[in-house]
Chain A
Amino acid sequence: MNYYLLIPFLPLAAFLINILFGKSLLKENAHWVAILAVAGSWVISVATLIDVMGGKTLNQDLYTWVSSGGFKASVGFLIDPLTAVMLIVVTTCSTLIHIYSTGYMHGDNGYYRFFSYLSLFTFCMLMLVMANNFMQLYFGWEGVGLCSYFLIGYYFNKKSASDAGKKAFIVNRFGDFGFGIGIFVIFLTFGTIYYEPVFSQAGAFATKTVNFLGYDVHLMTLIALLLFCGSIGKSAQMPLHVWLPDAMEGPTPVSALIHAATMVTAGVFLVARCSPIFSLSETALMVVALTGAITSLFAATIGLVQNDLKRIIAYSTVSQLGYMFLACGVGAYTAGIFHLYTHAFFKALLFLCAGSVMHAMSGELDIQKMGGLKKHMPITYWTMLIASLSIAGVPGLAGFFSKDEILWMAYSGPSPVGKLVWLSGTLVAFLTAFYSFRLIFLTFHGKFRGTHEQEHHLHESPKSMTIPLMLLCVGAVASGWVGIPALIGENLGIHNYIAEFMKPVLGHPEGHGTHGEEMMVMLVSVAVGFAGIGLAYFMYMMRPDLPGKLATQFSGAYKVLFNKYYVDELYSAIIVRPTIWIARNILIGVTDARIIEAIVNGVPSAIGGFSRQLRKVQTGFLHHYALIMAAGVLIVMGLMLMRSW
């Protein structure tokens, strides 16, 4: 028995304990079980990381889940550098957010329910990243989706929250449909759904095509794009990004854990995990890169004008996820995973700070009604400022290293769209810096714009919340130091550790460019970051009247951005309303009333009519029964005699 196996099963045990005994026994102490379990998982994850750094890997089946003909699926674990990094990300964020939640959710009615869902989520997420076959991956994938649904709709008596939960679930269905078919195609092609044989044989199918609806489709492109469908849904990429901003209806720790640090990055993990397949298809990679680039630009522009604190961060998440796909799309999977890893820290930190602000503002989320919170909540201010500096790409902080790595890979890599996505990535870096600091300036600087009552209530959050903030802040600063690019590191004798660590799994494409070009890319990205911060300072600190003027002058563009490009309205018009119309008029009106009810009511009445006839046989007279019995004896006798003749 291997101690790695405890990593997912500790949270599962915590879930079972909390869901069974939480309501009656544990009540206000429910967090202890959950925190101990997830902290235990974290400790083992660290041990695992050390083992893996020592060159140890593991690919072990624990239990045969399905065995049917040639199809076999099991509960099995694959531990390699990619898994190890994901384990650290998931368990670290999960542990800190569990601790934070004890303060944030204090006094809530569903305290034990919240923690049991968090544990279940952690279990599913760990199953997802530790899987050694696609079936278990799919199990974890749907499991985290389910927990996301539970937790978005955690305040289920609030209609917007339960609607948001449903929206997340239904939108994900679109992506998971493709993902499921992708797994079927993998099984049809390779005859197995285990990673190891699939990835090692993928090269043999590199040029194979299949006939699909009359077209010859490159098989690997087909598989890669179907799998990418799942990623689009889960990681909220265009055009299925609509659920993530609404998912902010859930409690803030949930937004931080599920909708920023872990679950939504599962799509990136999937692409990285399946990199042997994606790498065989230039088309698929191009689709991934362009989807990422478009999404990141698109979400960043929306983020510029939103006023809801959490939604701005949500759009920032969508944008940063686009960044990670952009990296994967240019073949720099390591850079994508590196950004995933740094992003988990600073984005979780941003959300938790937002939660802290919400806590102080009694649930108020409109940044137009805040301002000047700096002096009331210094810890929240400083941590959030560092997180924002990190996301803006200020040199030395985590976000700088991962973002720079992505941009350099895009610029120098072999991808045909590399230069294009580099340009859009640079633009996004500018926009990101701008809206992040717009948020900081509007929330923490200037004068308080809310009610007097709210101002009176302002306070710094309790220790259980601020300590996780400070710990995450360390991550937001230092987590990037494992991936210092050669340009800087060479002179200091520091390697790009993460790239070397991930090389056996994800490879490491060398950029084709001179040091001068690399320096140029880096300086540009730093420059646009500072430019964004500067512009935000100019517009919101020096000339606070300017944003309003701009909004009226460019009211058309402003409205489009403010209404998120009308994507929700578009989907409502082309998908939701026609579906409801069909459901109401055709399914209920015709299928249900005329066909199904005719069958449902017809069968019983036919049986009833037949029974009424049959009941006449039951006269109640003993002799009739005796005669029938004798007749039965005769029939049996006759049959036996006939057989013997």
Chain B
Amino acid sequence: MVPLNWYLMLSAAVFSIGVFGFLTRRNIIIMFMSVELMLNAVNISLVAFSHYLQDLRGQVLVFFIVTVAAAEAAIGLAIIIALFRNKATAHVDDMNEMKG
């Protein structure tokens, strides 16, 4: 039997890779994919918890996360299109307008 902690370690590793990608990539689409990666890392741990603790609530949560991820992808990609249309670039370090 595989211990629960192994799944959690795997989840932590994927999450950290997602964080690294988000913090360092210049391309906004890849950054966005990193976010999806982090969400999937969380899903892995939730499903693993659900299986090992014999409770379905973890999976219900995964269901909602997938829903929100879909919504977020739609909105986020729409923003990227609007941004690309105005700035003609997908590199976020070419933009510095997000300030007061």
A and B touching (Cβ–Cβ under 8 A):
yes
Contact A621 B23 (CB under 8 A): no
Contact B98 A627 (CB under 8 A): no
Q: Identify the closest chain A residue to B22 (Cβ).
A: A626
Chain A hits for B97, CB < 8 A = 620
Chain B hits for A619, CB < 8 A = 96, 99
CB under 8 Å from chain B, chain A span 593-642? 615, 618-623, 625-627, 630
Complex alpha-carbon distance, A291 and B30, angstroms: 93
Complex alpha-carbon distance, A411 and B19, angstroms: 101
Chain B hits for A618, CB < 8 A = 99-100
Task: Say what secondary structure dominates the interface of chain A.
Answer: helix
Contact A627 B93 (CB under 8 A): no
* Partner among B22, B28, B31, B95 whose Cβ is within 8 Å of the Cβ of A620: B95
Contact B23 A627 (CB under 8 A): yes
Chain B hits for A623, CB < 8 A = 23-24, 92-93
Nearest CB of chain A from residue B35's CB, rounded to whole Å: 10
* Partner among B19, B28, B93 whose Cβ is within 8 Å of the Cβ of A621: B93
Nearest CB of chain A from residue B61's CB, rounded to whole Å: 20
Chain B hits for A615, CB < 8 A = 99-100
Chain B hits for A625, CB < 8 A = 98
Nearest CB of chain B from residue A615's CB, rounded to whole Å: 7
What is the interface size of chain B, counting residues whose CB is below 8 A from a CB of the partner?
14
- 0 or 1 for each of A43-85: is its CB under 8 Å from B? (1 = yes): 0000000000000000000000000000000000000000000
Chain B hits for A630, CB < 8 A = 19, 23
Chain A hits for B23, CB < 8 A = 623, 626-627, 630
Contact A621 B96 (CB under 8 A): yes
Contact B95 A622 (CB under 8 A): yes
Chain B hits for A627, CB < 8 A = 23
Nearest CB of chain B from residue A226's CB, rounded to whole Å: 58
Complex alpha-carbon distance, A619 and B92, angstroms: 12
Chain B hits for A620, CB < 8 A = 95-99
Chain A hits for B19, CB < 8 A = 630
The answer to whether residues A622 and B92 also contact, given A627-B23, A630-B19, A630-B23 and a CB cut-off of 8 A, is yes
CB under 8 Å from chain A, chain B span 9-26? 19, 22-24
Complex alpha-carbon distance, A621 and B19, angstroms: 17
- 0 or 1 for each of B28-39: is its CB under 8 Å from A? (1 = yes): 100100000000
The answer to whether residues A621 and B100 also contact, given A626-B22, A627-B23, A630-B23 and a CB cut-off of 8 A, is no
Q: Identify the closest chain A residue to B92 (Cβ).
A: A622
Complex alpha-carbon distance, A345 and B19, angstroms: 91
- 0 or 1 for each of B64-95: is its CB under 8 Å from A? (1 = yes): 00000000000000000000000000001101
Q: Identify the closest chain B residue to A617 (Cβ).
A: B99
Chain A hits for B22, CB < 8 A = 626
Q: Identify the closest chain B residue to A618 (Cβ).
A: B99
Complex alpha-carbon distance, A535 and B23, angstroms: 108
Chain A hits for B24, CB < 8 A = 623
Complex alpha-carbon distance, A620 and B99, angstroms: 5
Chain A hits for B31, CB < 8 A = 622
Nearest CB of chain A from residue B15's CB, rounded to whole Å: 10
Complex alpha-carbon distance, A620 and B31, angstroms: 17
Interface centre among A615, A618, A625, A626 (most CB of B within 10 A): A626
Q: Identify the closest chain B residue to A633 (Cβ).
A: B19
Complex alpha-carbon distance, A619 and B93, angstroms: 11
Complex alpha-carbon distance, A619 and B99, angstroms: 6
Nearest CB of chain A from residue B5's CB, rounded to whole Å: 16
CB under 8 Å from chain B, chain A span 128-179? none
Q: Identify the closest chain A residue to B98 (Cβ).
A: A620
Nearest CB of chain B from residue A634's CB, rounded to whole Å: 10
Q: Identify the closest chain B residue to A627 (Cβ).
A: B23
Chain A hits for B96, CB < 8 A = 619-621
- 0 or 1 for each of A175-196: is its CB under 8 Å from B? (1 = yes): 0000000000000000000000
Nearest CB of chain A from residue B44's CB, rounded to whole Å: 19
Nearest CB of chain A from residue B100's CB, rounded to whole Å: 6
Interface centre among A619, A622, A625 (most CB of B within 10 A): A622
CB under 8 Å from chain A, chain B span 41-76? none
Chain A hits for B99, CB < 8 A = 615, 618-620
8 A-B pairs with least C-beta separation:
A620-B96, A620-B99, A618-B99, A622-B92, A620-B98, A621-B96, A626-B23, A620-B97
Contacts A621-B93, A621-B98, A623-B93 supplied; 6 other A-B pairs, CB < 8 Å: A618-B99, A618-B100, A620-B96, A620-B99, A621-B96, A630-B23
Can you pick out 24 interface pairs between chain A and chain B where the beta carbons lie within 8 Å of each other?
A615-B100, A618-B100, A619-B99, A620-B95, A620-B96, A620-B97, A620-B98, A620-B99, A621-B92, A621-B93, A621-B95, A621-B96, A621-B98, A622-B31, A622-B93, A622-B95, A622-B98, A623-B23, A623-B92, A623-B93, A625-B98, A626-B23, A630-B19, A630-B23
Residues of A within 8 A of B (CB): 615, 618-623, 625-627, 630
Residues of B within 8 A of A (CB): 19, 22-24, 28, 31, 92-93, 95-100
